[in-house]
């Protein structure tokens, strides 16, 4: 028992050190790009270029997640939480920032503050967490991350939701079932090696999505992911509605 506790403590220390080092180095390297993005957003409409997004973190604790703002002021008051690529709330400069994931880089501040990890299940808003099944609640047992399995598998989230009459419902039917399952695999199988491989896959997804998906599907196979989940992670088939883990029925209202 004592040996297991010591091992877990060492793993937590290594992960925290890894998070801090990566966050500091990446912030240092990309600070000119982050600064340029913030300036362009401010220049576009003369409003704050930083979006403070309320999210639910580890053990259900609320925190403020920072992003470079890519939408018009007040976009979060529309009631539409899931964003498609054709969402009219996205500004012209915001489209470019989103394409290269620059808006996500400010979350490194959350990593340095200890609210997020570099790798971990993506944090969700309170209204989505309220819909979690008992299985999905386990996603809150670890710190949320900037990237994870689903960040690579669903890096085209905007395109998936494009044209949907109800993006929130489309997200819950097509993406949430697999995103949650992928997050649960990470909760059960996270390790320093898994974190490194997911970081590599995330970077590669910006230049070669097929290669990144190959890394993710291979990693899922190694850690014991189901054949169905591995198949979904390869994105060779169209996404179809499915029930979230812990539920028997497909979500029909959102």
Q: What is the mean pLDDT of residues 84-105?
A: 92
Backbone dihedral angles phi then psi of residue 33, each to the nearest 5 degrees: -70, -45
pLDDT per position as a tens digit, 4-23: 778 778 888 899 999 999 99
Report the pLDDT value the prediction gives residue 172, as an integer from 0 to 100.
Answer: 96
Q: Whole-model pTM?
A: 0.93
Tell me the H-state helices in the chain: 2-45, 92-99, 108-112, 126-129, 149-153, 157-161, 167-170, 176-189, 192-204, 209-222, 227-234
Residue 2 pLDDT: 62
Return the pLDDT at 38.
97
Residue 204 has pLDDT above 90, yes or no: yes
107 band by pLDDT with thresholds 50, 70 and 90? very high
């Amino acid at each position: 028992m004592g040996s297991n506790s010591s091992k877990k403590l060492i793993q937590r220390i290594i992960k925290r050190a890894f998070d801090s080092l990566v966050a500091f180095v990446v912030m240092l390297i990309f600070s000119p790009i982050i600064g340029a993005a913030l300036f362009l957003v401010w220049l576009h409409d003369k409003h704050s270029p930083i979006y403070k997004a309320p999210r639910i973190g580890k053990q259900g604790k609320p925190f403020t997640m920072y992003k470079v703002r890519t939408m018009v002021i007040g976009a979060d008051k529309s009631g539409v939480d899931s964003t498609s690529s054709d969402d009219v709330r996205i500004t012209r400069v915001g489209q470019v920032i989103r394409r290269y994931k620059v808006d996500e880089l400010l979350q490194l501040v959350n990593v340095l503050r200890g609210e997020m990890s570099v790798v971990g299940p993506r944090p969700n808003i309170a209204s989505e967490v309220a819909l979690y099944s008992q299985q999905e609640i386990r996603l809150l047992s670890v710190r949320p991350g900037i990237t994870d399995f689903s960040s690579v598998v669903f890096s085209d989230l905007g395109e998936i939701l494009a044209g949907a009459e109800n993006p929130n419902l489309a997200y819950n039917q097509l993406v949430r079932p697999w995103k949650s399952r992928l997050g649960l695999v990470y909760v059960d199988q996270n390790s320093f090696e898994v974190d490194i491989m997911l970081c590599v896959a995330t970077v590669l997804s910006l230049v070669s999505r097929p290669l990144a998906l190959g890394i993710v599907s291979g990693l899922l196979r190694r850690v014991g992911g189901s054949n169905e989940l591995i198949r979904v992670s390869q994105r060779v088939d169209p996404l179809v509605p499915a029930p979230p883990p812990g539920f028997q029925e497909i979500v029909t209202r959102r």
